[in-house]
A and B are shown apart, each in its own frame.
Chain A
Amino acid sequence: MAITVKLDDLLHDNRMTLSELSERVGITLANLSILKTGKAKAMRFSTLEAICRELQCQPGDLLSYEDGEAD
């Protein structure tokens, strides 16, 4: 997909593990892994909001668009 999720970088910057984030945002570890590995097809605004709140970032910090990688 042309949209890349930069969750790994943000977790590293915030010194937080995926399971910690999972507990804080109330989303299962399995779902966050899907998001992290770029396998998610869509993302709810509520998920985006919770991640941005906990990782102190903007949606643009979490997602990026790269041309020419679309399915």
Chain B
Amino acid sequence: MNQTTKSPETNDIVLKSTRGLLIVTKWLMLLGVTVLTFAIPVLLFFSSEVAAEMADTFVTPPGTEVVWMIVGLMLLGIVMMLLTLFGLNRLRRIVDSVGEGNPFTRINGTRLRGMGVAAFAIQIVTFVGSLLASAMVSILGEVQPGEEFSMHIEGGLSISGILLVLLLIILARVFDRGAEMQDELQGTV
């Protein structure tokens, strides 16, 4: 019936390494959010200097709208990292429940659904970010002779990202059904 002692799964190497990786990633994301949050006001404060620096690099001197586009990209970065933190937090709780030997609960289904929504939102943010970056590169135009500038834009909607969203939503349903079966099993004598 109810499991009161922790199963040997708690000491599983896979679970331990997953927990460790999740903690490292969480702190990296928090660091990223903090850096970007401080960098945005600094960038806005020195926007005229940044625009002047860019004027030395590009044939057509870009206006302050490019600085605002950079700020927009940084904001999208913050949103993406917060969404990742949201997903990581839920994944950590699922990993903990696996360690406790009781993963088939309704709350885990809800957590997976939340991760699916977060993964979908990350896809949208990435898509918007790539559009914004492309627009910025086209505004910047050609580089002055002797100057170097390259920006590799990778984004848009990826098949693997969409598959991840679908996988998470299907897994959420699997866990819902698992929770129902667990309830039945717990009531079986």
Task: Spell out A's residues near B (CB within 8 Å).
Answer: 27-28, 30-32, 34-35, 39-44, 47
Interface flag for B188 (CB, 8 Å): yes
Name the distance in Å between B189's Cβ and chain A's nearest Cβ: 5
Name the distance in Å between B63's Cβ and chain A's nearest Cβ: 70
Cα–Cα distance between A43 and B188 once the two chains are bound (Å)? 5
Interface residues of B in 1-56 (CB under 8 A from A): 1
Interface flag for B145 (CB, 8 Å): no
Cα–Cα distance between A11 and B189 once the two chains are bound (Å)? 17
Q: Which residue of A lies closest to B2 (CB)?
A: A30
B1, B183, B188: the one contacting A44 at CB < 8 Å is B188
Query: Is the CB–CB distance between B188 and A40 below 8 Å?
Result: yes
A30, A41, A42: the one contacting B1 at CB < 8 Å is A30
Cα–Cα distance between A40 and B104 once the two chains are bound (Å)? 20
Cα–Cα distance between A28 and B189 once the two chains are bound (Å)? 9
